[in-house]
Structures are given as structure tokens and as C-alpha cells.
Amino acid sequence: MLNLISPVGPHGYDAEQPVPDHARRSYEVSLCGARFCGAAGIGLRGRPISSPTKAGGNAGHNVPSPKPIVTQHILVIGDSLTQGSPESTVTWPALVWPTLAASVGIVDPVIAGEGASGYVHPGNAGSTFGERATMYVNPKDELVVFFGSSNDSVASASVLASAAHVAFANTKAAAPAAKLLVIGPVATNPTPGPGLARIPGILRSEALAVGAVFVDPIAEGWLATDPELIGSDRVHPNDAGQKYLAEQIGPLMRNALQTSGGG
């Protein structure tokens, strides 16, 4: 099952309790009973499937050795765009896992999304990005993704920079081999206010300081130019918008996992 954080009503999940390592389970494919794995040579329970032997042939010959099974431990920290909202029935992480598994192997994700949260602004359950990073980063993580947040629009530049610095530094200390992918906030219109517009520059500086990859959705125009991607509240993405986010973020995650070396 997908490792989401405990439910707190109709709007999704909070991060009140840490997920112990033994509870991190791989997302299961209902059609075959296997964890999310893209290789055709992985069968039920992750066992390699041997190639058939020709009639009369020697079973000990011409059978390729199975490729090693790789499990990618991934943590995603975000706000309501990651957690989901009443404007959508799906979330971008749930849409990403099957296609990501097809490229990188078994995916073992933990999703720590909390509505109204940011690096500085506490969410509906009272936690910030950095606090959830402290609770959920695992030394086995290959990739940690931070996504957001427009909720920090009212934070001062210095406080936001300090909070982001602490979140990234603590993540690297807890999972030295993990790649860090930092995605800035999304604006749902082409002309975001000054408080929102300054966030990407602050996050970029702090992300690059720890060797993370930084992506600026505002500069790239994510969701800002197509109102059909936004729900009736004019703030949160609808199902089409969540699909759009998955199409943007999935390749970024795949590239991070396929790039050698830490970062």
C-alpha cells in the first residue's frame, strides 16, 4: 500500500506520527500482487521469471541471469497540492508511481503532504516541511522531494531562508546518500504577488548550497496559463491539474534517481 500519513478527515493526511522503517511498504499492483515494479521479469512477490527453455535444451544453458531487484525509497514532503484537496479525486504522487517504477524498479514511497503547510507556515495538523523531514527521512532514502509552498508567502525572506536551510541540512545529515529535489511553489495565475514571487529565489539559493536540484514552477508556468487545470476554488488543481503535475514531476524524479552520485 502507498505509505500515506494518518487520516484527519476529508482533506487527506497529517504527519502526527512517524512511520517506522518496518512499516514502509511498497505500493502494490493489484493486477499481479507485486510491488510497483516496471521490469517485465518481475513476477508475484518480486521473484524473477526465468526465460523458457527450448524443448530438448539444457536448462542450465542459455538462461540469462535475472537483473538485481532495486527498491527505491522515496519521501515526498509537500502541501495540499501533494496531499490532495476536495477539488480532485487523485494526487500527482499516486499517478507518478506506476510510470516511475517502469523506469527505476520497485518504488517504496512515503507521502508527507499536509494542507496549509510550508517551510515556515504550520499546516492544518501543525507541522512544517522541516518538522516532517525530521520525522520521516530515512537513512535508506534514495530521493527526498520538497514541493512548495505558496503558504510561505507571508514569511520574511530571512526566516524562510533559515527554515529551508535547516530542512535541507537535516535531510542530508539523516540520509547522506539521498538525492534532494526541491520544487518551488506553483502560482495559479501568470502574475503572482510579490510575496509568492520571491520564494523561488530564496529556495534556489538554499537548495543549491546543499547540492540539491531546484525547479521553479512559476518560471516554467506550471498551472498558471490553463484555467481548466484548476478546481472551482481557483486555488487547487483538479484531476486534470494533478495529472499535469504528475507529468512534470515524474520525469524530474526519474532523472534524479538515474543520475549517479549524491545530491
Tens of pLDDT along the chain (263 residues) come to: 455 553 333 333 333 344 444 344 333 333 333 344 443 322 222 333 333 444 444 455 566 666 556 799 999 999 999 999 999 999 999 999 999 999 998 999 999 999 999 999 999 999 999 999 999 999 999 999 999 999 999 999 999 999 999 999 999 999 999 999 999 999 998 999 999 999 999 999 999 999 999 999 999 999 999 999 999 999 999 999 999 999 999 999 999 999 855 56
Q: Would residue 243 count as lying in a domain? A: yes
80 flagged as catalytic:
yes
Residues with Cβ within 8 Å of 191's Cβ and at least 6 positions away in sequence, in order, are: none
Domain containing 232 equals: 3-29+68-258
User: Is position 60 within any domain?
Assistant: no
**Positive or negative, the Cα torsion across 173, 248, 132, 200?**
positive
Return the pLDDT at 61: 58
183 backbone dihedrals φ, ψ, rounded to 5°: -115, 125
So what's the pLDDT on residue 97?
95
169 CB-near residues (< 8 Å, 6+ apart): 210
Give me the pLDDT at residue 62, please: 66
Considering 26, 80, 85, 127, which one is annotated as catalytic? 80
pTM: 0.77
Structural domain tally of the chain? 1
DSSP H helices, the chain, are: 80-83, 92-104, 129-136, 157-174, 194-197, 199-209, 217-220, 239-258
Judge whether 26 counts as a catalytic residue: no
Does residue 177 belong to any structural domain of this protein? yes
61 is a catalytic site residue = no
Question: Would 139 be classed as within a structural domain?
Answer: yes
Evaluate whether residue 42 is within a structural domain: no
* 248 grid coordinates: 512534470
